[in-house]
Amino acid sequence: MRRIVTEAGLHPRRFVRLYAAGEIEDLVAREGQEAWIETTQGVRVMGLRRHADQCLFLDEENRCCVYASRPLNCRIYPIDYVYGDNGTRIKVRHPAWCGGKRRGELSREDLLELARRYNAASDETGRLVARWNRTTSGRAKPTDFFGFLKANVGGGRR
């Protein structure tokens, strides 16, 4: 998210959506408690907005228009790290709404590096959400969260 805000200059409200529980496949199994954003409308979790049931950033030729600043989830696509009681598993996904295609093979070292970067980004997001939850105690509207994001990740002109 930080890259899209700082490099592409987009305001978080343009590309972030706050999803309720049950709106994202495997949400409960994939996200820890620190990911839940407390609001006056209940808990939410951040995700990319979609347009016509596909990624918001895909153009008419199915190419990413923020490729240089795309989020880490897109950088590691189609890899998804699933955390559970039995440790971390790697899952390969291909959601219908994403036009991304990974070419080539990934070595064990590549996967471990992607996992390290993914975990670092997840930790940063977790700290940001925890700060929001401590500050607002669920007394703010979901729309207020976008201003909080802009103030805490920088940039976001458009």
> Is 151 domain-assigned?
no
Instruction: Classify residue 145: in a domain, yes or no.
Output: no
- Residue 31: band (very low, low, confident or very high) from pLDDT cuts 50, 70, 90: very low
Of 117, 132, 101, residue with least CA distance to 16: 132
Q: Is residue 150 part of a domain?
A: no
158 lies in some domain? no
Residue-number span of the structural domain to which 42 is assigned: 2-139
* Per-residue pLDDT, 97: 53
Encode pLDDT of 96-118 as tens digits: 556 555 556 677 788 788 778 88
Query: Is the pLDDT assigned to residue 88 strictly greater than 80?
Result: no
Residue 10, judged by CB atoms within 10 A of its CB (0-12, 13-18, 19+), counts as buried
Return the minimum-mean-pLDDT range out of 1-5, 43-47, 101-105.
101-105
Report residue 126's pLDDT band, with 50, 70 and 90 as the boundaries: confident
Number of domains in the chain: 1
pLDDT for position 132: 92
> Domain for residue 105, yes or no?
yes
Tell me the pLDDT band of 29, cut-offs 50, 70 and 90: very low
Report yes or no on 65 lying in a domain. yes
**Whole-structure pTM value:** 0.72
Helix H, strand E, coil C: the string for 19-62 is EECCCCCCHHHHCCHHHCEEECCEEEEEEECEECCEECCECCCC
